[in-house]
């Protein structure tokens, strides 16, 4: 009566998951791959340099203010006689930390909100997306500025505020994916085979959303880092003596004067920031091309 | 069309209301006040000051009064400058708007031009050159580009003034606006040139372009009339967010070049907890962004009649 029908399972010898295929395509993209390694080395340097260096980011040598790069101070010293090299790379740690954590916060909110909205559908979906539309209409950087001033300049505030205002696009992407996936035949098949909502979300939805989510998250990191640098430039982000790239550039730009040009104060933190943004954007673009199945 | 306008205007008003409420809630429920300075103020004096500015009333009464003020076009009173917010913000808004408009025009002109060049010489040297310019523009944010420009063109070469706002029509005065405008528009030149290039390349493969060529139109006419008009729609939809980004960017650019625009008032007054100025500036910015998005959407449907205004 209820004899289980053994379904013969054919395991194809050379089957590759879409993720593996995407990784393969990514490896063929020379610019993206180069940028990936460059990014990795900048990231490693921000960890290693402050440990290895004989200087610290807060130690001042008041006799040696505003020195040009030399053998002792490879990137020169800042207005207070602190070693710029260590400050630059320590600032990099903070920029990366903010970029990653705030992106993670926005990822959690965005994926959760978008998936819920798409999965529930109907009126709930409509209301939830109208809310996102309203948030989109806000000039959010100004609200971020107000929030930073009000809640004080601390790490956690920077993470939370940037994360809380950065999830809208992610939620739209995820919702769109979930909406289209819901109608796909394989989801219907899974449901017909008796899979519950949890299993469908976990086994079928998540793996299929993962591509666009990873791609968009990679592109969120540089934009968050940029926002953090923007806030720190205004003196509202990470506060002294803790360095951050935006703060360092702001310091250098404040020291510009017609008598003597302290170029190193702007050039070094500036080029680190620009390189990192360039690499992150290239890697993100490379990943998008690799995951974008329609484009092939 | 009219239904669309009314719907959007109503939506815009709703958004402004949400912003005003949100902003009021954030600044009033947060710790700190405009009078929390280093100097200790005796409690009786503080109570007097608070009564003068109406802070002794219940929060919901203050909120109602503030909203009624906005409805009659009164943005409130600045505690820091002891002037009405309207008097304070609108003159400075002129600078910000002028700078923003120049940056906008620069961004569209040069961005579209670079994009056309890149698309016309696809995969050849001009393409690579203009796309490298675009990539640099994207990776060098305005608060880095500003100091760099000052360093090179003002300090090292002394070609252009370091900072300030034009105070007359001579070249020496007018040239003050060049560097801030470049710093503010560079990122957008970059994005627009990429969008133009991509949009045009997309159109280039379409059948109607082949037809245009087949009927003997010159390459120039094909490009500027057929390809450009159809390829430029992504640029139009970018113009809406761009206005918001330019306003945001002007906050730092005004600071770098010492321009007395609204961005500086915004940051300074948030630091000083000058409630009415912060909210007034935020509402002006939001109105600008919402209004601009509306204009862009209408322009979009004009360019591409397939897009219905709903």
Q: At A16, phi and psi to the nearest 5? A: -125, 140
Q: Which residues of B are less than 8 Å from A223 in CB distance?
A: none
Nearest CA in chain A to B288: A139
Between the CA of residue A94 and those of A91, A155, B55, B306, what are the distances in Å?
Answer: 5, 9, 39, 48
Q: At B84, phi and psi to the nearest 5? A: -75, 150
The 8-class DSSP code of residue B108 comes to H
Which residue among A143, A234, A266 sits closest to B147, beta carbon to beta carbon? A266
Calculate how close chain A gets to B31, using CA atoms only, in Å.
7
**When comparing pLDDT for A8 and B41, which is higher?**
B41
Percent of chain A, pLDDT > 90?
A: 7
The 8-class DSSP code of residue B307 comes to S
Neighbours of B12 (CB within 10 A): 18
Q: Which residues of A are less than 8 Å from B247 in CB distance?
A: 139
Residue B83 pairs in a beta bridge with: B78
The radius of gyration of chain A from alpha carbons, rounded to an integer in Å, stands at 24
The contacts of residue A236 (CB under 8 Å, 6+ apart) are: A145, A148, A149, A153, B267
Contact between A78 and A66 under an 8 Å Cβ cutoff? The reply is yes
Domains of chain A plus CATH, in order, are 99-237+281-291 (1.10.3720.10)
Give the pair of three-digit tokens for residue B216. 């003997």
What confidence tens digit (pLDDT) does each residue in A147-162 have?
888 777 777 888 888 8
Q: CA B47, CA B69: separation in Å to the nearest integer?
A: 23
**When comparing pLDDT for A248 and A19, which is higher?**
A248
The whole-number pLDDT of residue B310 equals: 61
Cα B142 from chain centroid? 13
Q: If you count residue pairs, one on A and one on B, with CB atoms under 8 Å apart, how many are there?
A: 111
Q: CA B265, CA B285: separation in Å to the nearest integer?
A: 12
Whether A230 sits inside 8 A of B143 (CB atoms) is: yes
| Chain A contacts to B (CB-CB under 8 A) | 134, 137-139, 141-143, 145-147, 149-151, 226, 229-230, 233-234, 236, 246, 249-250, 252-253, 256-258, 261, 263, 266, 270, 273-275, 277-278, 281
What confidence tens digit (pLDDT) does each residue in A45-96 have?
888 888 877 777 777 777 777 777 776 767 777 777 787 888 888 888 888 9
The whole-number pLDDT of residue A37 equals: 92
**When comparing pLDDT for B287 and A296, which is higher?**
B287
The whole-number pLDDT of residue A296 equals: 38
The whole-number pLDDT of residue A40 equals: 92
Whether A234 sits inside 8 A of B266 (CB atoms) is: no
A15 pLDDT exceeds 80?
Answer: no
Residue B277 pairs in a beta bridge with: none
Q: CA A117, CA A128: separation in Å to the nearest integer?
A: 6
Q: Which residues of B are less than 8 Å from A229 in CB distance?
A: 141, 143
The whole-number pLDDT of residue B43 equals: 73
The whole-number pLDDT of residue B125 equals: 87
Nearest CA in chain A to B247: A139
Percent of chain A, pLDDT > 70?
A: 92
Residues in chain B where the model's pLDDT stays below 70: 31-41, 308-310
The whole-number pLDDT of residue B105 equals: 93
Calculate how close chain B gets to A265, using CA atoms only, in Å.
10
Nearest CA in chain A to B272: A149
Whether A266 sits inside 8 A of B148 (CB atoms) is: yes
**B135 backbone φψ class: left, alpha, beta (φ>0; ψ -120 to 50):** alpha
Which of A35, A39, A142 to mutate to test binding with chain B, by most B CBs within 10 Å of its CB? A142
Which residue among B19, B247, B251 sits closest to A138, beta carbon to beta carbon? B19
Give A238-255 as a DSSP string: S-TTS--HHHHHHHHHHT
Whether A137 sits inside 8 A of B22 (CB atoms) is: no
The contacts of residue A226 (CB under 8 Å, 6+ apart) are: A277, B141
Nearest CA in chain A to B262: A142
**When comparing pLDDT for A19 and B242, which is higher?**
B242
Whether A139 sits inside 8 A of B286 (CB atoms) is: yes
Q: What is the pTM of this model?
A: 0.83
B131 and chain A in contact, CB less than 8 A: no
- Listed by number, the residues of chain B in 13-42 with a beta carbon closer than 8 Å to a beta carbon of chain A are 14-15, 18-19, 22-23, 26-27, 30, 32
Whether B285 sits inside 8 A of A143 (CB atoms) is: no
Q: At A97, phi and psi to the nearest 5? A: -60, -45
Calculate how close chain A gets to B187, using CA atoms only, in Å.
12
Contact between B18 and A134 under an 8 Å Cβ cutoff? The reply is yes
- Which helix (H) or strand (E) is B78 found in, with range? strand B77-78
**When comparing pLDDT for A212 and B32, which is higher?**
A212
The 8-class DSSP code of residue B175 comes to G
Look at the block and give the residue holding tokens 């100091």.
B147
Q: CA B245, CA B297: separation in Å to the nearest integer?
A: 17
**When comparing pLDDT for A41 and B47, which is higher?**
A41
User: What is the pLDDT averaged over residues A92-121?
Assistant: 88
Q: Which residues of A are less than 8 Å from B151 in CB distance?
A: 256, 261, 263, 266
Q: CA A79, CA A255: separation in Å to the nearest integer?
A: 8
A241 pLDDT exceeds 70?
Answer: yes
B293 and chain A in contact, CB less than 8 A: yes
Whether A233 sits inside 8 A of B143 (CB atoms) is: yes
A294 pLDDT exceeds 70?
Answer: no
Q: CA A138, CA B181: separation in Å to the nearest integer?
A: 24
Whether A278 sits inside 8 A of B251 (CB atoms) is: no
Which of A233, A259, A294 to mutate to test binding with chain B, by most B CBs within 10 Å of its CB? A233
Which of B9, B141, B253 to mutate to test binding with chain A, by most A CBs within 10 Å of its CB? B141
Look at the block and give the residue holding tokens 């540089």.
A222
Q: CA A140, CA A231: separation in Å to the nearest integer?
A: 13
Contact between B187 and B137 under an 8 Å Cβ cutoff? The reply is yes
| ipTM for the assembly | 0.82
Question: What 3-state DSSP class applies to A58?
Answer: coil
Contact between A60 and A81 under an 8 Å Cβ cutoff? The reply is yes
Q: CA B91, CA B50: separation in Å to the nearest integer?
A: 28
Domains of chain B plus CATH, in order, are 97-261 (1.10.3720.10)
Whether A270 sits inside 8 A of B32 (CB atoms) is: no
């Amino acid at each position: 009566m209820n004899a289980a029908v053994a379904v013969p399972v054919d395991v194809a010898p050379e089957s590759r998951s879409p993720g593996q295929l995407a990784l393969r395509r990514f490896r063929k993209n020379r610019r993206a791959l180069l940028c990936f390694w460059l990014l990795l080395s900048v990231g490693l340097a921000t960890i290693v340099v402050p440990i290895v260096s004989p200087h610290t980011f807060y130690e001042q040598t008041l006799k040696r203010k505003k020195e040009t790069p030399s053998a002792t101070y490879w990137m020169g010293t800042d207005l207070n006689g602190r070693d710029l090299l260590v400050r630059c790379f320590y600032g990099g740690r903070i920029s990366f930390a903010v970029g990653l954590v705030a992106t993670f916060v926005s990822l959690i909110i965005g994926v959760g909100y978008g998936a819920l909205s798409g999965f529930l559908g109907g009126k709930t979906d409509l209301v939830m997306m109208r809310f996102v539309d309203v948030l989109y209409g806000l000039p959010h950087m100004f609200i971020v500025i107000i929030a930073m001033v009000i809640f004080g300049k601390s790490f956690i505030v920077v993470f939370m505020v940037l994360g809380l205002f950065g999830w809208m696009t992610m939620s739209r992407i995820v919702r769109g994916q979930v909406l289209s996936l819901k109608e796909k035949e394989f989801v219907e098949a899974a449901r017909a085979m008796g899979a519950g909502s949890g299993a469908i979300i976990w086994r079928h939805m998540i793996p299929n959303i993962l591509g666009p989510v990873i791609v968009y998250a990679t592109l969120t990191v540089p934009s968050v880092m940029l926002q953090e640098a923007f806030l720190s430039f205004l003196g509202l982000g990470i506060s002294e003596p803790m360095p951050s790239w935006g703060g360092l550039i702001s310091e250098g730009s404040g020291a510009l004067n017609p008598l003597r040009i302290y170029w190193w104060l702007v050039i070094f933190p500036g080029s680190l920031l620009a390189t990192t943004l360039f690499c992150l954007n290239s890697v993100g673009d490379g990943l998008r091309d690799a995951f974008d199945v329609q484009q092939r | 069309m009219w239904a669309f306008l009314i719907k959007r205007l109503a939506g815009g008003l709703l958004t402004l209301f949400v912003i005003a409420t949100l902003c009021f809630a954030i600044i009033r429920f947060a710790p700190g006040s405009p009078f929390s300075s280093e100097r200790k103020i005796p409690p009786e004096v503080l109570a007097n000051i608070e009564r003068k500015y109406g802070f002794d009333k219940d929060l919901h009464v203050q909120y109602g009064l503030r909203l009624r003020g906005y409805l009659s076009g009164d943005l409130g009173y600045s505690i820091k400058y002891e002037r009405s917010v309207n008097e304070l913000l609108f003159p400075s808004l002129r600078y910000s708007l002028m700078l923003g408009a120049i940056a906008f025009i620069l961004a569209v002109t040069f961005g579209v031009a670079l994009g056309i060049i890149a698309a016309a010489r696809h995969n050849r040297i001009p393409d690579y050159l203009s796309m490298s310019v675009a990539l640099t523009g994207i990776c060098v944010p305005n608060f880095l580009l500003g100091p760099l420009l000052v360093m090179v063109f003002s300090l090292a070469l002394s070609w252009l003034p370091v900072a300030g706002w034009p105070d007359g029509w001579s070249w020496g005065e007018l040239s003050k606006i060049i560097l801030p405008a470049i710093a503010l528009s560079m990122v957008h030149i970059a994005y627009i040139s990429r969008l133009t290039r991509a949009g045009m390349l997309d159109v280039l493969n379409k059948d109607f372009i082949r037809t245009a060529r087949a009927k003997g139109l010159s390459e120039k006419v094909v490009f500027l009339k057929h390809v450009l008009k159809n390829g430029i729609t992504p640029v139009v939809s970018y113009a809406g967010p761009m206005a918001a980004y330019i306003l945001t960017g002007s906050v730092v650019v005004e600071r770098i070049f010492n321009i007395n625009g609204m961005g500086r008032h915004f940051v300074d007054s948030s630091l000083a907890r000058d409630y009415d100025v912060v909210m007034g500036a935020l509402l002006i910015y939001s109105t600008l962004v919402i209004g601009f998005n509306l204009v862009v959407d209408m322009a979009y449907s004009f360019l591409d009649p397939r897009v219905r205004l709903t």
